């Protein structure tokens, strides 16, 4: 006698993705800490800035993208509600009410910029320029768009299309290589 076993249909393996979370003003660190306490993988990109306190100047770490935190998760219903119910969270960025994951290359580039002491300017999304990769130095591997301002040196813009933002960093042209 032969036994047959009926196995339940398996779902395709889901891969965690990065989602941008829009926070209340100045709640980025609080949201980051609360989401970590709920066992989410969280990324809060920061940059170094000089702040003036009375007569002293001090280097401080501030959010690179004010109002945004990134969460790496499989966004099922349970995760969605855990995130949305977190104090300081306004919404998960998406289109027509549906959360949309961020591009992995954009998140990788943000991770390379995270904590840098280079001058980083947060600007509106830039559409022009060649796709480039930084080949040398502390930002090696960063992929972005090449922008040249006459008399102001070479700049690279890293686009975060999901947030409709660009981050601009000044870089020497010898460290750049056109790709694509």
- The CATH number linked to 175 is 2.30.30
Q: Are residues 67 and 123 in the same domain?
A: no
Residue 80's domain comprises 15-102
Residues 147 and 180 grouped into a single domain: yes
107 belongs to a structural domain: no
Which residue would you say has higher pLDDT here, 135 or 100?
100
**78 phi/psi in degrees, rounded to 5:** -65, -45
Give percent of the chain with pLDDT exceeding 70.
78
pTM of the model: 0.72
pLDDT digits (tens, 9 = 90+) for 46-67: 988 777 777 788 888 889 899 9
**49 in a structural domain:** yes
Looking at every residue in the chain, the average pLDDT score rounds to 81
pLDDT of 152 > 60? The answer is no
Residue 126's pLDDT band, with cuts at 50, 70 and 90, is very low
């Amino acid at each position: 006698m032969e036994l047959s076993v009926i196995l339940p249909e398996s779902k395709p393996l889901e891969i965690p993705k990065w989602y941008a979370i829009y926070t209340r003003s100045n709640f980025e660190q609080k949201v980051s800490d609360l989401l970590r306490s709920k066992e989410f993988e969280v990324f809060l990109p920061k940059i170094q800035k000089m702040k003036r306190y009375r007569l002293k100047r001090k280097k401080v770490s501030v959010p690179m993208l004010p109002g945004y935190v990134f969460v790496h998760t499989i966004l099922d219903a349970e995760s969605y509600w855990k995130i949305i119910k977190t104090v300081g969270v306004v919404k998960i960025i998406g289109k027509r009410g549906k959360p949309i994951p961020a591009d992995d290359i954009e998140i990788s580039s943000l991770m390379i910029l995270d904590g840098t002491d280079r001058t980083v300017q947060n600007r509106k999304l830039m559409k022009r320029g060649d796709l480039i990769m930084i080949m040398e130095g502390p930002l090696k591997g960063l992929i972005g768009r090449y922008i040249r301002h006459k008399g102001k040196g070479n700049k690279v813009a890293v686009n975060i299309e999901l947030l409709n933002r660009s981050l601009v960093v000044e870089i020497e042209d010898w460290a750049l290589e056109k790709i694509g």
